[in-house]
Structure 1
Amino acid sequence: MNGQEFSKVGVEESKEIWRSADAVCFDVDSTVIQNEGLDELAAYCGKGQVVKELTMRAMQGGMSYKESLKQRLDMLQPSLETIQGFTRAHPPLPHQGCGLPPCLTKDVDKLVEVLQERGVDVYLVSGGFRSLIAPVAKLLNIPLENIFANRLKFFFDGDYGGFDESQLTSRTGGKAEVVSYLKQQEGYTRLVMVGDGITDLEAYPPADTFVGFGGNAVREVVKEKAPWFVNDFGTLISELQKED
């Protein structure tokens, strides 16, 4: 982390950083959307349960992220045709409370809109795949260049060819590297990471604070270690609307 010294912050300081943030990085699966995108792809491929178990192990720190990702994709072997069919059959939907995946989490669209109106740059930083996340970004009016996620590779005939292991988000600690890169390249001084999982918690520091999100799934270690933990995005909107 470039040899810098970081200090942890408490709840009140986290709220103050949130209100004055110049950039916010959101995790996607179980944060911006209600489900885990790769799990839904696995269900589409008829291998939902075994992949979901691996996802849970990765979320809880049971194996390295890259190892978990490789195992899940090796099971699925998703072709380009499969990915295209899945995204056509499962376009992202606004929050409806109906459980249809992929469904936006309640109030996330309002939160992104409020942040952008305040001049805050919004990013999606995910261990999922860009091809599955791009439709979500479009629905939220987040520029596609503000997505940091993994990339699938395909052979000339469209068969699965692995994933791009050079992407920062493909490895443990990758989200912290993305945050460091953004702070260095863009000069952000109050960058907030928001997410539900261990990989999101790992981004703090270098993120100036971390907001743990439990609106879709509560990871106990995240709830315990996050300087500020919320169960809904309405809380974050309300905090932005307070007088500084």
Structure 2
Amino acid sequence: MDQVKGVLKRADAVCFDVDSTVIQEEGIDELSKFCGKGREISELTAKAMGGSMTFQESLSLRLNILQPSIDKIKDFLQKKPAKLSPGIKELVQKLRSRKIEVYLVSGGFRCLISPIAKQLDIPASNVYCNKLKFFFDGQFAGFDETQPTSRSGGKAEVVRILKEKFGYQNLVMVGDGATDLEASPPADAFIGYGGNVVRESVKKNARWFVTDFQEIIQVLN
């Protein structure tokens, strides 16, 4: 734990997972409930998060069940805006006041994550996530498989890219899931977050596990 806190105090970049970390819910699960496909999708999400299925498999299966159109997504964003986790706004502000670069790295979709990034004043260039594709009539046409986050190990790949591009020496990954834990290394430290959902494998394997972002803020203070 002390080693992780040491890296945090020296951090030059912090990457946050989005679903169940920055926001209180799983975006794709909420969208699927909105589309009336909730149960099927949440079972696949649980398998993906638990690591019993590759991320690509679960993503492809979930989207094929869901088939979300542009209009459906716009309707969803208007009626069901994401709820930020308590303390995340304060934590992001605290990091930025210390000139620490903040990134959102997610297996979720840009159309759902952009409004969240905007709320936190995080530029679009600092968001690494998946992109949905649509036909000219707005119907679902698949997802962009060239994005690193569309594959298992994608978050680690994003961290590697960031470290190579910007030369970060103390990059911290924060998240609730197996895919976040797997990103360290190359991330220099990992903080497990259980404020919305506690995943036992993450709690067991994280050197530092918090259930409230205030715990991280206190260390930074």
Partner residue in 2 for 1:25: 15
Partner residue in 2 for 1:47: 37
Q: Which of 152, 155, 162 is the aligned partner of 2:142? A: 162
Is residue 2:49 matched to residue 1:59?
yes
- Summarize deviations over 1:137-179 as a string: whole Å, max 9, x none: 0001111110000000001111110000110000100000000
Describe the SS at the equivalent of 2:46: helix
Q: Measure the CA separation in 2 of the matches of 1:165 and 1:183.
A: 22
Q: Which of 65, 83, 87 is the aligned partner of 1:103? A: 83
Q: Measure the CA separation in 1 of the matches of 2:123 and 2:90.
A: 16
Is residue 2:79 matched to residue 1:89?
yes
Letter aligned with residue 213 of structure 2 = F
Q: Measure the CA separation in 1 of the matches of 2:51 and 2:161.
A: 24
Letter aligned with residue 54 of structure 1 = L
Aligned length in residues: 221
- Summarize deviations over 1:7-53 as a string: whole Å, max 9, x none: xxxx1111010111000000000000000000000011011111011
- Summarize deviations over 1:49-85 as a string: whole Å, max 9, x none: 1101110010001100010000000001001111111
Partner residue in 2 for 1:5: none
Q: Measure the CA separation in 2 of the matches of 1:32 and 1:185.
A: 25
Is residue 2:200 matched to residue 1:220?
yes
Deviation of residue 90 (structure 1)?
A: 2.1
Is residue 2:198 matched to residue 1:208?
no
Partner residue in 2 for 1:69: 59
Letter aligned with residue 98 of structure 2 = R
Q: Measure the CA separation in 1 of the matches of 2:27 and 2:109.
A: 8
- Summarize deviations over 1:81-122 as a string: whole Å, max 9, x none: 11111112223xxxxxxxxxx211010000000000000000
Is residue 2:24 matched to residue 1:38?
no
Query: Which contiguous aligned blocks of 4+ residues in structure 1 show a shift greater than 2 angstroms?
Result: none
Partner residue in 2 for 1:119: 99
Partner residue in 2 for 1:198: 178
Using the size of structure 2 for normalisation, the TM-score is 0.99
Describe the SS at the equivalent of 2:163: helix
Partner residue in 2 for 1:6: none
Describe the SS at the equivalent of 1:31: helix
- Summarize deviations over 1:195-237 as a string: whole Å, max 9, x none: 0000001100000000000111111111111121111100000
Q: Measure the CA separation in 2 of the matches of 1:147 and 1:87.
A: 18
Task: Flag structure 2 segments of 5+ consecutive residues without an equivalent.
Answer: none
Structure that is richer in helix per residue: 2
% identical aligned pairs: 57
Is residue 2:148 matched to residue 1:148?
no
Q: Measure the CA separation in 2 of the matches of 1:33 and 1:85.
A: 19
Partner residue in 2 for 1:187: 167
RMSD: 0.6
Task: Flag structure 1 segments of 5+ consecutive residues without an equivalent.
Answer: 1-10, 92-101
